Amino acid sequence: MAPADLESRTRYDPAETEERVFARWRDSGLFHPVPEGTPEENYSIAIPPPNVTGVLHMGHALNGAIQDALIRLNRMRGKRTKWILGTDHAGIATQKQVERLLETEGTSREALGRKAFEERVWRWREQYGSSIIDQYMRLGASVDYDEERFTLDERYVDAVLRVFVELFEKGYIYRDNRMVNWDPGLRSAVSDLEVEEREVTDTLYYVDYPLASGNGSLTVATVRPETMLGDTAIAVHPDDDRYTRMIGETAILPLIGRRLKIIADPYVKPEFGTGALKITPGHDPNDFDIGREHGLDEITVIGEDGRMTEHAGERFAGLTTLEARDAVVAALREEGRIAHTEPYVHNVPFSERSGERIEPLISLQWFMRMDELVTPAVEAVTDGRIAIHPENWTRVYLHWMENIRPWCISRQLWWGHRIPVWYRGDETYVGVEPPRGSGWEQDPDVLDTWFSSGLWPFATLGWPDQTEELKAFYPTDVLSTGREILFLWVARMIMLGLEFAGDIPFTDVYLHSIIQAPDGRRMSKSLGTGVDPLALIDGGPRPPVFTQGGDFPAYGADAVRFGLLAMSSTQDVRFNEEKVAQGRQLANKLWNASRLVLLRLPAGLELSDVAPRPGAVEDAWILSRLQAAKADVALALDEFEFHRAVLRLYAFIYDELCDWYLELVKPRLYAEGDDSGAAAVALHVLAETLALAHPIIPFVTEEIWGHVPGSDGLLMAHAWPEPDPALADPAAEDEVGRAITAVQELRGWRDRVGAAAGATVPGRLDASGFERTAAAVARLARFEWQSDGGRPVATVGVPGGSIVVLESEAVDADAEARRARERQDLLRKEIARAQGRLANQGFVAKAPDAVVRAERDKLARLEAELDELRI
């Protein structure tokens, strides 16, 4: 239990609190629900599995805050909630990391051999794999820690292999020799989605290819002269008059002497370069297609190691592509084959994995045909069974799906799901279990990591077995992630979920913001722009990108959650430390507001005896405002408008609860033997506020909850506060609303005339609608009402009339005269504006009545105040 000395803890201390509170949550077992009920009754989210190599970064923290807010909200709504936890083996990333480690030990993957290497990775994973999960705990994430999945768990592997085999049997998966994106750094194929284009300035070489006939030559333009060693044709546009007579002729490939047929293909753009295109089917995706169409030879001159092969010829074999380029250019120059060169800016594919330039080459790989899987996945979104938020990403999703291409799913790695295919001579065996008999050799490749991630929402629940978990929690509810993996992951989960689990994997996709560094760059550790969420929680060092140095204050998990949610948007945003600070202020504010209420509670008063029965107008007011806040926060969360939810919560707690209600109710709260029920209402409102805030700032609210007399059990398990329409009270809102305005006007007046802060100013309340709030207005504005006597020295307009300030030492006549003039000027300007509008016939005739009436009321109010001021 928490330290009981609320009295002395004048600040909320997250460091002292969080671990203790988390342990209570975890021990409650609520994170780990019994699999019962139907997916409609239950609420589940499958966490985007972090890489086993990963450490918690800002993206995880934001997504953690989002998902936990949703989970906690729905748990409080009485749903059985399960936040499915697990990690991804992350083939490439993990393999690279362990390889680097091996390098420091002076050894290598190859030296160890496949089996030993795999064992090494497993050991490495046991050592480091779970750190990210501990970090999720620090955030307060209520994931089901008791059931942690891993994409290489035995059961998961079984699901992956089964899916592979079934897709193979359906004819969706096939093996083919095709052009792939070869990553020479990784020495593996990668998928189209793992390739990024970068702008590069290259040289465009114009190379003369002599015609076999001896009648001149044909000039082609190329940025990659080294690939010409693999040329097998030259193509021109069929309608290009310059070349039509040459179609069917033969050119001679310089340096090599190969005879190249001159072919016609509409793909060629006559206006580019010379209008003649050298065709290298072995190393250019377009040329590959043209080559297949025209039945051209495919010559591989660049090998998987990124060096020229023997087919490039003796002079060049063994050179890297860059060396080969220089050598080829030099040789061409020697022969006088280079007509001219020019700089050329274009986009070049690079591997996102290794950062190296992609080498397109022909390779024997496994592919997956997507066209048939796409149809139901498109339908699920177009018919609304799956909603994507923000909505405009729906189109992006559909567009990509409609233009989907085969997916290269094999990777030449060792860490991952080994492809369940075995070869023996000409025989091929495909199956989950290895084949019987001897002499079989398994395909050495593993599957793309995203292939296994695609099964995440159902494989984590035990599929293909019809487990209780699967029955209770599939389909899941929300999938929250960054938009960069909408295609890579989300789309594939939808396709595979529909195909194998027989239903959509989730009903809503929420694409959250990417949080950039404060200067707008990408957050990255190596750039010094990465902000570590744990440094924010615990008070670690600020990264170099911050103008301010030193350590972060220990903001605490609630502050980080609040701050991240406040930053989140439909677009990418810059990291903003102030928002985190705002979260900390809120936690502290709520803490102290709670101290005020809880330390003043009459002995014996318990939450269970407390009904929201207003004993004064401010009670009715706060109860009414509370209902509005509850409705707004819930709506914002349900609409995935997290920043709106948290800022509304902030505004309610700060402005309405603390600035006004608690100040208004204080005298009653402090009064000995108060019988107006102030404590009961305050306690009720506090309890509801804690519940309302809990999904956003769970730690501080749970901690305070422990101090609420009669609070039963955990706040985490408490009912979500639904708005009670019976407590809406427009009359009280109006009444207290005008009191608030009056106090603000009076305070503003005091400040303008320089009234001493401590002085009580005499005045006469000359306005209606203050029957129940006059005393409060006087107290909060430091006024004293006098019914008679005193010389009027100023008039302050308030709703429903005005307040006449009476002569006293506190009022400086000159200052007041100045202030009155300023006020009159302002009023005249506003009056002129309103009159102008009302004089406009179009406005009066066409604007809605309510708008016109409001304008008239406003004018009357302004004129009345101006009249008052003239006295």
* Least distance between RNA and beta carbon 244 (Å): 15
Closer residue to RNA (CB): 280 or 460: 280
Whether residue 677 contacts residue 668, with contact meaning beta carbons closer than 8 Å, is answered with: no
Does 382 help bind RNA (rule: CB under 7 A)? no
* Least distance between RNA and beta carbon 195 (Å): 7
Closer residue to RNA (CB): 303 or 518: 518
* Least distance between RNA and beta carbon 72 (Å): 23
- Which residue is listed with tokens 């496994």? 366
- Over the window 429 to 468, marking each residue x when it contacts RNA by CB under 7 A and - when it does not, the resulting string is ----------------------------------------
* Least distance between RNA and beta carbon 791 (Å): 25
One of 294, 357, 385, 747 touching RNA (CB under 7 A): 747
- Residues of this chain, 612-651, that bind RNA according to CB under 7 A: 641, 643-644, 647, 650
Using CA atoms, how far apart are residues 825 and 862, in angstroms rounded to an integer? 12
- Residues of this chain, 63-102, that bind RNA according to CB under 7 A: none
One of 32, 369, 666, 772 touching RNA (CB under 7 A): 666
Q: How far is CA 777 from CA 663, 692, 729, 771, 787, in A?
A: 11, 29, 20, 11, 15
Q: What SS3 class is residue 264?
A: strand
* Least distance between RNA and beta carbon 264 (Å): 12
**Strands of 531-579, DSSP E:** 573-574
Dihedral of CA atoms 421, 424, 427, 429 in degrees, nearest 10, equals -20
* Least distance between RNA and beta carbon 381 (Å): 16
Termini Cα distance of the chain:
64
Using CA atoms, how far apart are residues 579 and 206, in angstroms rounded to an integer? 57
Per-residue burial over 366-388, b = 16 or more CB atoms within 10 Å of its CB, e = otherwise: bbbbbeebbeebbebbeeeebeb
Whether residue 239 contacts residue 281, with contact meaning beta carbons closer than 8 Å, is answered with: no
Using CA atoms, how far apart are residues 127 and 121, in angstroms rounded to an integer? 10
Is 185 exposed, middle or buried (CB count within 10 Å of its CB: 0-12, 13-18, 19+)? middle
* Least distance between RNA and beta carbon 390 (Å): 8
- Over the window 216 to 235, marking each residue x when it contacts RNA by CB under 7 A and - when it does not, the resulting string is ----xxxxx-----------
Per-residue burial over 47-68, b = 16 or more CB atoms within 10 Å of its CB, e = otherwise: bbbbbbbbbbbbbbbbbbbbbb
* Least distance between RNA and beta carbon 66 (Å): 15
Region near RNA per CB under 7 A, out of 6-14, 242-250, 431-439, 683-691: 6-14
Closer residue to RNA (CB): 174 or 670: 670
One of 162, 278, 512, 819 touching RNA (CB under 7 A): 278
Using CA atoms, how far apart are residues 355 and 352, in angstroms rounded to an integer? 5
* Least distance between RNA and beta carbon 107 (Å): 36
Q: How many residues bind RNA (CB under 7 A)?
A: 91
Chain-centre distance of CA 802, in angstroms? 51
Using CA atoms, how far apart are residues 208 and 545, in angstroms rounded to an integer? 52
One of 289, 304, 323, 766 touching RNA (CB under 7 A): 289
Show the DSSP H helices in 267-314 as ranges: 285-294
One of 400, 423, 429, 785 touching RNA (CB under 7 A): 400
Closer residue to RNA (CB): 309 or 582: 582
Does 4 help bind RNA (rule: CB under 7 A)? no
* Least distance between RNA and beta carbon 833 (Å): 11
* Least distance between RNA and beta carbon 757 (Å): 4
Closer residue to RNA (CB): 76 or 517: 517
* Least distance between RNA and beta carbon 487 (Å): 6
Closer residue to RNA (CB): 516 or 786: 516
- Over the window 467 to 486, marking each residue x when it contacts RNA by CB under 7 A and - when it does not, the resulting string is ----------------xx--
Does 863 help bind RNA (rule: CB under 7 A)? no
One of 264, 654, 728, 800 touching RNA (CB under 7 A): 654
Closer residue to RNA (CB): 174 or 267: 267
- Residues of this chain, 328-357, that bind RNA according to CB under 7 A: 346-347
* Least distance between RNA and beta carbon 822 (Å): 9
Structure tokens at 707: 């101090």
Closer residue to RNA (CB): 3 or 439: 3
One of 28, 217, 286, 394 touching RNA (CB under 7 A): 286
Region near RNA per CB under 7 A, out of 253-261, 283-291, 309-317, 605-613: 283-291
Does 215 help bind RNA (rule: CB under 7 A)? no
Using CA atoms, how far apart are residues 569 and 505, in angstroms rounded to an integer? 25
- Residues of this chain, 669-698, that bind RNA according to CB under 7 A: 670
One of 10, 375, 524, 608 touching RNA (CB under 7 A): 10
Closer residue to RNA (CB): 148 or 572: 572
**Residue 447, strand partner residues:** 410
Q: What is the CA radius of gyration of the chain?
A: 36
One of 126, 239, 712, 751 touching RNA (CB under 7 A): 751
- Over the window 576 to 615, marking each residue x when it contacts RNA by CB under 7 A and - when it does not, the resulting string is x-xx-xx-xx--xx--xx-xx--x----------------
Closer residue to RNA (CB): 214 or 758: 758
Closer residue to RNA (CB): 370 or 581: 581
Using CA atoms, how far apart are residues 758 and 366, in angstroms rounded to an integer? 82
Using CA atoms, how far apart are residues 385 and 783, in angstroms rounded to an integer? 61
Q: What SS3 class is residue 142?
A: coil
* Element housing 844 (H / E): helix 841-846
One of 16, 27, 110, 196 touching RNA (CB under 7 A): 196
Q: What SS3 class is residue 56?
A: coil
Using CA atoms, how far apart are residues 817 and 869, in angstroms rounded to an integer? 10
* Least distance between RNA and beta carbon 672 (Å): 12
* Least distance between RNA and beta carbon 269 (Å): 4
Closer residue to RNA (CB): 112 or 204: 204
Whether residue 557 contacts residue 14, with contact meaning beta carbons closer than 8 Å, is answered with: yes
Closer residue to RNA (CB): 269 or 828: 269
Sequence-distant (≥ 6) Cβ neighbours of residue 446 within 8 angstroms: 91, 410, 411, 413, 414, 415, 416, 417, 418, 419
Structure tokens at 718: 């408490």
- Residues of this chain, 828-847, that bind RNA according to CB under 7 A: 840, 842-843, 846-847
Q: What are phi and psi of 818, to 5 degrees?
A: -65, -45
What amino acid occupies position 141? A
* Least distance between RNA and beta carbon 187 (Å): 22
For CA atoms 699, 700, 703, 706, the dihedral sign is negative
Closer residue to RNA (CB): 24 or 837: 837
Using CA atoms, how far apart are residues 559 and 565, in angstroms rounded to an integer? 10
- Which residue is listed with tokens 């033969």? 250
Does 854 help bind RNA (rule: CB under 7 A)? yes
- Residues of this chain, 532-561, that bind RNA according to CB under 7 A: 553
Chain-centre distance of CA 829, in angstroms? 47
**Strands of 136-184, DSSP E:** 148-150, 173-183
Using CA atoms, how far apart are residues 264 and 282, in angstroms rounded to an integer? 19
Per-residue burial over 22-31, b = 16 or more CB atoms within 10 Å of its CB, e = otherwise: bebbeeeebb
Does 789 help bind RNA (rule: CB under 7 A)? no
- Which residue is listed with tokens 């439909």? 570
Q: Going by DSSP bridges, is the β-strand pair 441-442/446-447 parallel, antiparallel, or unpaired?
A: unpaired
* Least distance between RNA and beta carbon 126 (Å): 34
